[in-house]
Amino acid sequence: MQPDALSKRNAPQTAAMVRENLVTVLTAQAAGAIAVVRLEGPLVETAVRGRARSPAGKPVEIPPGSRPRLVRWDFGGPEPEEAVLYRPEELVLEIHCHGGPRVVENLVAAAAADGFTCLPWQQWIFRRERDPIAATARTALAQARTLRTAGILLDQYHGALRSAVETIAQALEQGSSDAPERLRRLASRIPLGRHLIRPWQVVILGPPNVGKSSLLNALAGYDRAIVHPTPGTTRDLVSAVMVADGWPIEVIDTAGLRRADHPVEQLGVQKAQATAEAADLVILVFDRSRPWEEEHEALLGCYPQALLLHNKADLAAAPGERPPGLEVSAHRPEDVPTILDAVVRRLVPSPPVPGEAIPFTEEQAAAVREALELLPHAGPLAAASRLRQWTPPTSAPPASEPPALEPPA
C-alpha cells in the first residue's frame, strides 16, 4: 500500500499534531472494500506493540520507514484481523484492512481505548493542507460523481482558483483595464461550480400521455418509470441520475400537466410545477402525432426557456403548424444521443478549458458576486479587498475545522 499521494506535497505535521493522539478513517465506508485507518501521535508505538502480531502470533516490530507488513491486528473482536501496516514516520501508522463497517468500527473503538481521539477525515485534510482553497477542493473531490468534475476540482486543488483570484485582485489594485472582465468571467462560472458535486436537475414536463415516462426510461437506459396509456399514471416525481458528456444530470419525470379532479393527481401536478421552478432546465414534451392546440401554446408560454421536444416522431405527424423543436421518438435508441447533446448544450454552453478557475462553494461564489457588485460604486480597490477576504495566504496555520461544503446557489 502506498501513502496518501495528495499529502506528499505538504510540510511535515505541526507540533500540535505530533503531541495529539488521533485516529482517522481515510476511506469511504463500503462493505467488502479496503479501509485505511491512520493513527498519529506518541501512542503509535504502544499500539503496535500491544495489538500487532505476526501470522504465527508473535509480537512484531514496525520501524519507521520500513516496508508495509502483513500482520494480525487485535481489533477488539473475537479474533484478530489481517491487516497491512505501513509506518512512514515514527508517529504515524496506516492500517490497511477489510473495509466492512463492523471491522472499521471495532478498530476505531480499539484505538479510542488505547487513548486515540477520533478525528473526522475532513478535519484531517484541513490540518494537513496549508491552502484552505486546496483543502476545500480536496474534500469536494470525495463527492465528485464523474471523472470530468473530479478533474475540474483537481485543477482547483492544484491552485487554479487561488491563482486566478490573486491575479484578478492584483489587476484590480493596479487599475488594469481588463480586470473587470476577468472578474465577470469568474462569476460566470459559478453555475458550473455548483454542479461539480451536485447533479444538474432536468425536469420533464408536458401534457398527459405524450411520452414523458418513456423519455425518462430511454435517457436512463432502463425502465425507471411506469409507462401506461391511462392518463394520470405518473402522479409522483420519478427520477434517475445519469452522466452525459461527463456531467452528472438528474432527470425527473412528472405528472402530466392538466386540470385534474382527483386530489392526488392535483397534488402531482402541483409538485411537477414546483419542481420545474427550481430546475436547471425544463424539457417540454408534446405529442407530434396530435395537433398543436392553444393549451400547448399557453404551456410553452409558461416555460419560454424550455427545451422543446416533439415526441413520437416514429408515428405520422398531425397536420398543422407547431413551434420549432427537436422531433424525436423515445422508442428510437438512435435519438437518445441527440436529446442528451441538446441537454448538455443548454446546461454547459461553454465548457471550461483545462486548468480554468471555477468557484465551487457558496463562500467562494458569494465573494466573487459581492466583488462584482462593489466594482461600479465602491471601486476596484473595494472589490479586490472582498476577493482577498476568503483567500488567506498559504502560509497561514492550517484550519482545524473545515467550512461547510455547500455548492454555490
10 Å CB burial of residue 278 (0-12, 13-18, 19+) is: exposed
Gap between the Cα atoms of 261 and 266, Å rounded: 7
CA 374 to chain centre: 30
Evaluate whether residue 404 is within a structural domain.
no
Name the pLDDT band for 5 (thresholds 50, 70, 90): very low
Q: Are residues 270 and 340 in the same domain?
A: yes
Q: Are residues 246 and 288 in the same domain?
A: yes
Gap between the Cα atoms of 364 and 346, Å rounded: 24
Residue 215 has pLDDT above 60, yes or no: yes
Q: Are residues 300 and 319 in the same domain?
A: yes
Q: How far is CA 178 from CA 161, 171, 175, in A?
A: 18, 8, 9
Q: What share of the chain is helix, strand, coil (3-state, %, to 5)?
A: 40, 15, 45
| Among the ranges given (123-127, 149-153, 185-189), the one the predictor scored with the smallest mean pLDDT | 123-127
Q: Give the largest CA-CA distance in the chain.
A: 87
Strands 281-287 and 307-311: parallel
| Among the ranges given (72-86, 153-167, 264-278), the one the predictor scored with the smallest mean pLDDT | 264-278
Residue 34: CATH number of its domain: 3.30.1360.120
Residue 285: closest CA among 243, 349, 225: 225
Q: How many domains does the chain have?
A: 3
> Residue 109: what residue type?
A
- Quote the pLDDT of residue 133: 92
b (16+ CB within 10 A) / e for 126-151: bbbbebbbbbbbbbbbeebbbebbbb
Q: What is the pLDDT of residues 310-360, one digit of tens each?
A: 999 999 999 989 999 999 999 999 999 999 999 999 999 999 999 999 999
**pTM for the full predicted model:** 0.81
Gap between the Cα atoms of 274 and 102, Å rounded: 42
Evaluate whether residue 159 is within a structural domain.
yes
C-alpha cell at 201: 436537475
Mean pLDDT across 32-36:
85
Do 244 and 307 contact (CB within 8 A), yes or no?
no
Q: Are residues 223 and 341 in the same domain?
A: yes
Q: Are residues 208 and 341 in the same domain?
A: yes
| Domain boundaries, position 269 | 200-347
Name the pLDDT band for 79 (thresholds 50, 70, 90): confident
Q: Are residues 185 and 299 in the same domain?
A: no
Domain boundary among 295, 316, 347: 347
Gap between the Cα atoms of 252 and 241, Å rounded: 9
| Among the ranges given (79-83, 246-250, 274-278), the one the predictor scored with the smallest mean pLDDT | 274-278
Q: What is the pLDDT of residues 110-145, one digit of tens each?
A: 999 999 999 999 999 999 898 999 999 999 998 899
Query: Cell 430546475 sits at which residue?
Result: 279
Do 104 and 96 contact (CB within 8 A), yes or no?
no
Q: What is the pLDDT of residues 230-242, one digit of tens each?
A: 455 445 578 889 9
Gap between the Cα atoms of 210 and 203, Å rounded: 15
Residue 22: closest CA among 30, 14, 31, 11: 14
C-alpha cell at 209: 400521455
- Mean model confidence pLDDT for the chain: 86
Residue 330: CATH number of its domain: 3.40.50.300
Evaluate whether residue 111 is within a structural domain.
yes
Gap between the Cα atoms of 6 and 12, Å rounded: 13
